[in-house]
Amino acid sequence: MEKTARQGLERVSRPRLYEQLVEQILAYIESAQLRPGDLLPAERDLAERLGVSRATLAQALVALEVLGVIDVQHGTGAVLARRPSVASVIKGLREHQSRLPEIVEARSTLEVKLASLAAERRTDQDLAAIDNALNIMAKEINDGDRGSHGDELFHQAITAAAHSAVLAQLMAFIAEMILETRMESLGQPGRPEQSLASHRKIAAAIRAQDAKAAAKAMLAHIELVSDVELLR
Amino acid sequence: MEKTARQGLERVSRPRLYEQLVEQILAYIESAQLRPGDLLPAERDLAERLGVSRATLAQALVALEVLGVIDVQHGTGAVLARRPSVASVIKGLREHQSRLPEIVEARSTLEVKLASLAAERRTDQDLAAIDNALNIMAKEINDGDRGSHGDELFHQAITAAAHSAVLAQLMAFIAEMILETRMESLGQPGRPEQSLASHRKIAAAIRAQDAKAAAKAMLAHIELVSDVELLR
DNA sequence: CTGTCTAAGAGGCTAGTCCAGTGAGCCAGT
DNA sequence: ACTGGCTCACTGGACTAGCCTCTTAGACAG
């Protein structure tokens, strides 16, 4: 569904201090048994303890704030948000790679719904984008490729055709999880031709504006694909 | 991604410079028609243009990086991530409050799946938590309350019983959207007794480990609740 | 008791400085 | 002509020192 480093050539990971700090602070929160509403140590204090400058620590705090873990209040301090679970979930997602089944599950849930909505709401333009993706995929497969680019385009077109910014956002979220856990191969079918055929079936249902058939076809497609993935 | 606001008592919004910068940079990206892969102006340059110090700008860039909008590379610059859509989606979510139908839709999709999974995977402990939530809700309603606390607990218990960290994460994401757009009333039923009854039906299906019935009951519940909400 | 003031300590932000990657361009050696 | 190595300008990464504003607790006056 997405690629950063092409051809397996992994760009050297550029370590960012603030990222390490986020991890350390998360670990600290857990080890210190801090509960929602509790305060983190003062910036000057924390910076010294962690051996970094305040400016750098400030970056880490911004990151934690964006992640929803803390809420920094001027004059008071950094207070833990009410859902410390988020912190552990994020940590868990980073650490364990065993989430594949869960991610497949979540993705399946969303994509089935997206297919159904796409059938109801697709414009002719959406349909054109879907057909375009199919053509690209067919061409790629014909050239001996796996057709992964077309596959990606296809799913993006479906997502767009559902016309739901919120669901699209959730899909983007899952895409990030997939990237983070380095399971980029997810969603790349074992047999390109077979996958192309099920794509065509989905597209046909969407063209016919048959929501139920679209959902069914998408479910079948995902089950096929993830079965292959999970068994290798 | 988080504001404080406790019990409707709006704490004066403390503007953080980096937050404004994020908005401005987002606007700049849009106005300058930057595409994925393009570079943002250099930090020194950008900081001067925006009239802030580099340290503050660095915070804004961290926020944008966490949000997945850019990827900052040492020696090269801040390059736009592959999905500029994320930027516009986030902006759109902030600006428009007309997303309620979409949010209901997304929530419904997830909760139906969660109910179904909960039926399959619930432990006795999960069941106890669900029953506990029902009891609290019943007590609240009996006391003349709307039972919103029990309602929240109930949905949390269902989410936990599904045993999927990924889906739970997505639910948390939606919860944040709801908070952000100040539609906290979402999910609070018009008629408490009616809602309690449909909760009981869901709980019964989960107890019986009947996934299909659980999904159906949850769907019915959400349709009831959101209808009331959308029509007022 | 109650209201006011103050000072300590919290975060917010700036300016200046130095370090460390990146990449284009030059220039020799082959 | 090409290759390799070097330099240098430019980019982000991080630190330091300092001053600002905000919050809050406690002293103090009424």
CA distance B231 to B212: 29
pLDDT surpassing 80 at residue B63: yes
Tell me whether residue A160 is in a domain: yes
Nucleotides of strand C within 7 Å of the protein's CB atoms: 9-17, 20-23
State whether B103 and B213 are in the same domain: yes
Which one is predicted more confidently, A205 or B86?
A205
Domain count, chain B: 2
pLDDT surpassing 60 at residue A11: no
The residues, ordered by sequence, that sit 6+ positions from B153 with a Cβ below 8 Å of its Cβ are B129, B132, B133, B136, B137
State whether B154 and B83 are in the same domain: no
Q: Residue A170: name the closest of B46, B175, B154, B201 by CA.
A: B175
Name the strand (E) or helix (H) holding B78: strand B77-80
State whether B37 and B117 are in the same domain: no
Q: Of B45, B72, B91, at which residue does a domain stop?
A: B91
CB contact under 8 A, A89 and B167: no
Range picked from A145-154, A160-169, A174-183 for highest mean pLDDT: A160-169
Nearest CA in chain B to A18: B62
CA distance A123 to B201: 38
State whether B50 and B86 are in the same domain: yes
* B35-57 pLDDT tens trace: 888 899 999 999 999 999 999 99
Res. A80 pLDDT band, cuts 50 70 90: confident
pLDDT (mean) for B155-171: 88
Tell me whether residue A135 is in a domain: yes
- Give the nearest nucleotide to A53, CA to C1': D15
State whether B186 and B223 are in the same domain: yes
Percent of chain A at pLDDT > 90 equals 35
* B108-131 pLDDT tens trace: 899 999 999 999 999 999 999 999
Q: Looking at residue B2, what is its pLDDT?
A: 34
State whether B32 and B118 are in the same domain: no
Q: Of A91, A118, A150, at which residue does a domain stop?
A: A91
pLDDT surpassing 50 at residue B149: yes
Strand ranges inside chain A, DSSP E? 70-73, 77-80
pLDDT surpassing 70 at residue B225: yes
**Could you identify the residue whose CA is nearest to the C1' atom of nucleotide C9?**
A75
CA distance A17 to A72: 20
Domain with A120, as residue range(s), is 97-231
| Strand C–CB B54 distance below 7 A | yes
pLDDT surpassing 80 at residue A166: yes
State whether B104 and B157 are in the same domain: yes
State whether B155 and B220 are in the same domain: yes
State whether B137 and B121 are in the same domain: yes
pLDDT surpassing 60 at residue B222: yes
Name the strand (E) or helix (H) holding B72: strand B70-73
- Count of residues for chain A? 232
Tell me whether residue B6 is in a domain: no
Least confident of B76-90, B163-177, B190-204: B76-90
Tell me whether residue B4 is in a domain: no
Identity at B142, one-letter amino acid code: N
State whether B51 and B103 are in the same domain: no
Which one is predicted more confidently, A173 or B4?
A173
- What secondary structure, in 3-state letters, does B132-192 show? HHHHHHHHHHHCCCCCHHHHHHHHHHHHHHCCCHHHHHHHHHHHHHHHHCCCCCCCCCCCH
